[in-house]
């Protein structure tokens, strides 16, 4: 069972696939948070500040999806992908922090 040159045999532990699915789960969780943020904007007493904060939250949600999508494609390209870039990891975390920050604006 020899693989062609430059192509590694598939990892029997399916590590890249599991990691890809972990990113997918995380985008789903992010979507739930974004939907809850959007729900704030359609409430009766929502002011301009709330609309602005919710708009920023939705932009952050898009940014998170973009980061995750890039990483998922990277993972799909190789059977033995390396660690993600620090910028990828930092961006995912900063999107979450940003969501929390805008949420403070919405709640207050």
Contact footprint for other proteins (CB under 8 A): 11, 13, 15-16, 18-19, 22-23, 25-26, 29-30, 32-33, 36-37, 39-40, 43, 80-87, 89-90, 92-94, 96-97, 99-101, 103-104, 106-108
- Min dist CB 107 to other proteins, Å, is 5
Cβ count near 89 (within 10 Å)? 13
- Min dist CB 3 to other proteins, Å, is 16
Residue 33: name the closest of 82, 97, 90, 76 by CA: 97
Residue 26 in tokens? 């995380």
Tokens 């708009």 -> residue:
55
């Amino acid at each position: 069972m020899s693989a062609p040159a430059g192509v590694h045999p598939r990892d029997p532990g399916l590590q890249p696939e599991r990691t890809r699915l972990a990113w997918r789960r995380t985008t789903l969780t992010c979507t739930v948070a974004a939907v809850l943020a959007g729900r704030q904007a359609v409430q009766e007493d929502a002011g301009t500040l709330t609309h602005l904060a919710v708009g920023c939250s939705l932009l952050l949600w898009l940014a998170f999806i973009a980061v995750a999508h890039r990483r998922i494609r990277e993972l799909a390209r190789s059977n033995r992908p390396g660690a993600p870039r620090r910028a990828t990891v930092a961006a995912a975390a900063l999107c979450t922090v940003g969501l929390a920050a805008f949420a403070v604006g919405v709640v207050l």
